[in-house]
Structure 1
Amino acid sequence: MGLELYLDLLSQPCRAVYIFAKKNDIPFELRIVDLIKGALPVFANQECRLVGRRAVKLGPEHCREGHRPWRAQRSPPTTHHAGLFPGQHLSDAFAQVNPLKKVPALKDGDFTLTESVAILLYLTRKYKVPDYWYPQDLQARARVDEYLAWQHTTLRRSCLRALWHKVMFPVFLGEPVSPQTLAATLAELDVTLQLLEDKFLQNKAFLTGPHISLADLVAITELMHPVGAGCQVFEGRPKLATWRQRVEAAVGEDLFQEAHEVILKAKDFPPADPTVKQKLMPWVLAMIR
């Protein structure tokens, strides 16, 4: 068995891993782990296969043993094979892959790995990817490490809370959020965005220098969370807006849009089933505390 990535593109760290693997033509088998069972309009309850740079959903008739599972579109795929992982991240089945019951997760033969930063670094070291993602130069690499160490409790927290307080609680879970709580959350996000600009971006093309790195990829996938909630993250921030354009161009517009298709439809998610809501609430409250 080759490399397997257990992902849900609703998750910002999963999107970073997905984009990185596809952008660098790393062959992997995609295992979809549905974070919010039944909520996602894309991929849920279907097997899909990665064809070239696109995820193509397949019906059951394409998945019989011995049946040819894909046809090349534009060019033969270098990254293909994606299977649906049957169950949620909280299931006992997924716990056999990751006892922490979180995504992303990586399985490479008998080796398993959790935590998005660890997974990204593992992929940079195992596969021949361009040096700019995680430079060999000591100080350039330290700048990437600095951002990756900072973002967990700052930008990620602010972006996650903005999505849940603005959309997921009131729209998906049917739980009202007070105007005061929402205002405080958005104010916290604004402060964090200013730190991102002042400390890391400054007047550079990318967060750590003249070239895109893992820092930029992780940052942009975080910022698309509040964008999916309707927050005008880049409005009034021309440097940050221009940086986003550079990152999207470096990644490739098609791949960028593919990875963010689900989160950009967050406002359109249907209300959660009561059973799903009951199961999710303890996890959600612990996650965004």
Structure 2
Amino acid sequence: MSKLKLYYDLMSQPSRALYMFVKLNKIPFEDKAVALRTGEHKQEAFTKINPVQLVPVIDDGGFVLTESVAIIQYLCNRYDLPEHWYPRKDIKAQAKVNEYLNWQHANTRMNCAMVFRHLVIIPRETKKPVDWEQVNMMKKRVAFVVNHLDKTFLKEKPYLCGSEVSVADLLCICELMQLNAVHEEQLYESNPKIKAWAERVKKRLNPEFDEAHQIVYRLRDLYKSTIAPSFAKL
């Protein structure tokens, strides 16, 4: 059996989730790091693998899959992974996980990413000051997301979809951690239940969690000392 090839960049939230997932489940893989910062994802070699030019991607013996949710669902079936990650026998439990996986794209993922983009990526690309009106609008949307995570998904459970960690928690925490990179973690830590959940998930996923998020921790230090002050001078 050929080893699974994993194309990823740990700057990418879903890449971090998938990287942790294969390590947590001890799935052998061939490391295929793709440097987004240098535009490697736009080069011809990677474009042949994924014409959309995004990570993560897997190549399982010639079977290429490009969407993080689809990849994780495939791996759960491919390797018959523990049911708590993604239930397959209990269709109602599976539906609850799917509920979050479908909701998160336009909510947790988009809004946390846009706070980060407006504070780091867009000013860097345009050489213009931070648009604080846009940042504040995205922060309000994140506040809606956090409230929804609390009241609709978490409720009184230890994890978003039940009593044990699932791929919903894995993907969610990686998106929220993008806020930590720009010192905006209070947007979710101000909610005591979500803060406690986040700490619970991090503990459950360690040491793989800290390994995957080293780049976020470094960016957090760099943002405070260099990035934010430089944008203030624009």
Output one character per residue of 1:8-34: Cα deviation in whole Å (capped at 9) or x when no partner.
Answer: 000001011000000010000110111
CA distance in 2, matches of 1:169, 1:263: 18
**What is the aligned-residue RMSD (CA, Å)?**
1.7
Q: Deviations over 1:52-82 (max 9, x none)?
A: xxxxxxxxxxxxxxxxxxxxxxxxxxxxxxx
Deviation at 1:183, TM superposition (A): 1.2
Given that 1:227 and 1:233 are in contact with CA atoms closer than 8 Å, whether structure 2 keeps it comes out as no
Range with bigger deviation, 164-173 or 238-247: 164-173
User: 2:117 aligned with 1:116, yes or no?
Assistant: no
TM-score (normalizing by structure 1): 0.73
Whether 1:140 and 2:69 are equivalent positions in the alignment is: no
Deviations 1:79-119 (A, max 9, x none): xxxxxxxx611111101111111100000111111100010
**2:51 matches 1:99:** yes
User: Contact 2:202–2:209 at 8 Å: present in 1 too?
Assistant: yes
Which residue of the partner structure matches residue 27 of structure 2? 26
Q: CA deviation at 1:172?
A: 7.3
- Measured in 2, the distance between the counterparts of 1:250 and 1:132 equals 13
Q: CA deviation at 1:173?
A: 6.0
Structural mapping, 1:28-107, within 5 Å: 28-37=29-38, 88-107=40-59
Aligned to 2:203: 249
Bigger proportion of residues as helix: 2
What is the number of equivalent residue pairs in this alignment? Answer: 221
Name the SS for the 1:151 alignment partner. Answer: helix
Q: Identity rate of aligned residues, in percent?
A: 39
Q: Deviation of residue 193 (structure 1)?
A: 1.2
> Does 169-178 or 95-104 show the bigger shift?
169-178
Larger radius of gyration: 1
Gaps spanning 5+ residues in structure 1: where? 38-86, 272-289
1:265 and 2:218 equivalent?
Answer: yes
Distance 1:179 1:134 in 2: 39
- Which one of the candidate residues 135, 138, 149 is aligned to 1:182? 135
Give 5+ residue unaligned stretches, structure 2: 228-234
**1:238 is matched by which residue type in structure 2?**
P
Counterpart position of 1:126: 78
Superposition TM-score, scaled by structure 2 size: 0.89
Name the counterpart of 2:193: 239
